[in-house]
Amino acid sequence: MKRELGSLATHRAYLGLAPKKGAVAPFAMAPAKVFRTQVAELVRRLKAIGCKSVVIGISGGLDSTLVLLVASAAFDRMGLDRKSIHAYSMPGFGTSKRTKGNAEKLCDSLGVDFATIPIAKSVRQHFKDIGHDGKTTDLAYENAQARMRTMILMDKANMLGAIVLGTGDMSEIALGWSTYNGDHMSMFGVNAGVPKTVIRKVCTWWAKEKVKAGGEGEEMAAEAVRDIVATPVSPELKKGQVTENTIGPYELHDFFLWNFIVNEMGPQALEKAAAGYFGNQYSKDTVKATLAIFLRRFFTQAFKRNCAPDGIRVFPFELSLRGWWIPSDLGIVRLKG
């Protein structure tokens, strides 16, 4: 029986061929163009389905911030009231005052509908129902919070005749760095085609543009976004979590993702290219360890990508059954080069 390989069947590293000689600099596109693409595609989706209301889980982190900014611009373009953008803060066990405060400030300055729905009580009841002690900070402790938030957003969307806008980005999708049927799920993935490093650049660009525009509300929004950009990336499911302390720098992951997909590099080529591109910014051990994490998670987490919602394509490829894909049961494949 022939083994199904998906997009890997023609990958040069799988076939033992030298990589392509394209630009190694990853995801080179002006932030303004990225933002315009996201806005235009969200407008197109909303018009296509006849929807005039959206629901967003706003955490005070980078990803949900960009989705909120895109939604606000899309509603302005469609002539819709921003109060039909329903943003919900859902603080849990690891939520910090900083992120919660930034979420509130940003929503207030943008003039969207904002509400806080604490999840701790509901999650504790859920722990009792499933026999979890509520003290062991294991995977269930973390993922129960993410799934509770998704359930709230989905139910709110049903109540409001809205769709849930997904906040997960391309880097997280590549790595499977999400809770299955939690933040992994939405009704339209606004950030699905934009990696984490680019999201940071787009948010930084947006804040600068608002300062240029002037006005008290604009400055307040820009101030919130600037602090969000400066906040370490974290799911805040436990106190003190910092994502890059666990999986390595997103800058490296995005470099590996681009050059694995676009230039079809194998492990040795990726490691060599990263050393040349970043110089002394990262140690050899950091590059090697992060690459191992990237390859392992990219192949083992394909099952999440293969049942993800529709998303916006911004760059030359997308990670979905509509774009670059591998079977969920392929496993870790030995690549050459």
Q: Calculate the CA 256 to chain-centre distance.
A: 17
Tell me, yes or no, whether 25 lies in a domain: no
**227 domain residue, yes or no:** yes
Look at the chain and report how many structural domains it folds into: 2
1 has pLDDT over 70: no
- Which helix (DSSP H) or strand (DSSP E) does residue 166 occupy? strand 163-166
Domain extent for 330: 7-18+248-337
Per DSSP, the residues of 35-104 read: HHHHHHHHHHHHHHHT---EEEE--SSHHHHHHHHHHHHHHHHHT--GGGEEEEE---TT--HHHHHHHH
Residue 252 placed within a domain: yes
Say if 195 falls within a structural domain: yes
State how far the Cα of 30 lies from the Cα of 208, in Å rounded to an integer: 14
What residues have CB less than 8 Å from 285, skipping those under 6 apart?
A: none
pLDDT band at 154 (very low <50, low <70, confident <90, very high): very high
Residues 242-281: pLDDT tens digits? 999 999 999 999 999 999 999 999 999 999 999 999 999 9
- Between CA 325 and CA 306 the distance in angstroms is 8
Structure tokens at 51: 């929807």
Both 277 and 301 in one domain: the answer is yes
Tens digits of residue pLDDT in 287-299: 999 999 999 999 9
Residues contacting residue 191 through CB under 8 Å, at least 6 positions apart:
38, 63, 66, 67, 166, 167, 168, 169, 170, 199, 311, 312
Write down which residue in 190, 222, 241 finishes a domain.
241
Query: Do 57 and 38 belong together in one domain?
Result: yes
**279, 199: one domain:** no
Q: Up-side HSE of residue 216: CA atoms within 13 Å toward CB?
A: 1
Q: Nearest Cα to 244, choosing from 181, 300, 184, 196?
A: 196
Do 116 and 170 share a domain, yes or no? yes
The answer to whether residue 81 is domain-embedded is yes
**pLDDT of 23 over the 50 cut:** yes
Q: Which of 119, 176, 118 lies closest to 148 in space, CA to CA?
A: 119
**Secondary structure class of 116 (helix, strand, coil):** strand
Whole-structure pTM over 0.85, yes or no? yes
Could you say which of 206, 241, 276 is where a domain stops?
241
Average pLDDT value for the chain: 96
**What is residue 2's predicted lDDT score, i.e. its pLDDT?**
54
CATH number of domain containing 300: 1.10.10.1140
